[in-house]
Amino acid sequence: MHEYGDFPGAGDAEESEPVGGDEPRTTFPRSGAVGDMLFAYGTLQFAPVLEALLGRVPRSRLGVARGRRVAALPGRAYPGLVPAAGRIAAGLLLEGLTRAEWEILDRFEDAEYDLRPIRLVLPPDGDEPGGTDVVPAYVWTAATTGADWRPEAFARANLADYAQRCEHWRASGMPSDGW
């Protein structure tokens, strides 16, 4: 497990949950050295998307972020992680990401995401003990809908097309203006 200060640029913030209604302002530099783990709560939880973007599926384990929700975004198939008192956001802790993979993910993620440290609760997983860890996550900074994003609905209605679009984006040189 990593301690908060293990991440370059992590600053002094300790909590990922909103404090006094304010979202922490500390962010990781995008494409910076933030370690090899990422909390994935949306489309990056799906093996076909990871395979299309990274050419592999990193090892992962379950994680939960308290004080957050996975919000549906207006007109988009993918979600955003936002503060939400009393809520939890479930996802996967992706492990073993390389610098090159971070660069791909940074190019892929919209400008409305900030890469920020969040505290995860990790259940025991095989030989891995449970506990908490602070890891980076792409946190949404723009408007959301009032609805939660549903991974099952995404998988049923959008996953195949979305993974294909990811493959095309990567094959076309990963343009920064999206697909």
Is pLDDT at 65 greater than 70 in this prediction? yes
Mean pLDDT of 67-73: 98
pLDDT digits (tens, 9 = 90+) for 74-109: 999 999 999 999 999 999 999 999 999 999 999 999
Q: Could you tell me the sign of the dihedral formed by the alpha carbons of 169, 170, 172, 173, in that order?
A: positive
Percent of the chain with pLDDT over 70: 82
Mean pLDDT of 109-132: 91
Among 15, 23, 95, 109, which one carries the catalytic annotation?
109
Query: Which tops the pLDDT comparison, 173 or 127?
Result: 173
The verdict on whether 95 is a catalytic residue reads no
Mean pLDDT of 34-56: 96
- The interaxial angle of helices 99-108 and 47-54, nearest 10 deg, is 110
pLDDT band at 152 (very low <50, low <70, confident <90, very high): very high
